[in-house]
Amino acid sequence: MKLISVKNAEYQIIQALKTNRVKRSQTHEVFVEGIESIKQLLNTDIEITRVIIYDEKNLSDWGKNLVTKHKSKLINMSFDLYKELCDREEPSEVLVTAKIKPISLEDLSLPEKPFILIFDRPSDYGNFGSI
C-alpha cells in the first residue's frame, strides 16, 4: 500500500485523470468516483488500476472486499488530499482509476439504420432518465 500525504507525482497523475481529457486519452485510464459508478465498473471486464482510500479502518465490508479482491495499486491518501479529488460534499469511501476499453461503432452490432445517442461526460446517471 502506498501512503500519500502530499501532492506528489502519483497524486498529480490521479488529479490529471480526473480533470484532463487529453491525459485520459494518452494513458487510456479514467477516474471513477461514486459507489454506484464503481459497482457498474465491477460488472465489466475493465481493469481497475488504482484503489484509492483515506480510512482503511472504517471501510464497509464492500470497501474491504474491493481492496482485497483487486490486485491493483492500493493508495491510502490523507483525508485533505482525498477530499480535493472528490466532487461530493461527503466523499465516498473509495475512488478508483481504470483502464479505458477502446470501442468503435464498428465493434458494435447495429441495425441497418441505427439511432445513436452519444453522451459527453454525463455528471449523473439520473440525467439519462431525463433524456
Whole-prediction pTM: 0.78
Q: Which amino acid is at 63?
A: G
Q: For the domain 2-102, what is the CATH code?
A: 3.30.1330.30
53 and 74 Cβ atoms separated by less than 8 Å: yes
pLDDT band of residue 32 (cuts 50, 70, 90) is very high
Domain boundaries, the chain: 2-102
Q: Binning pLDDT at 50, 70 and 90, where does residue 3 land?
A: low
How many CB atoms within 10 Å of residue 130?
6
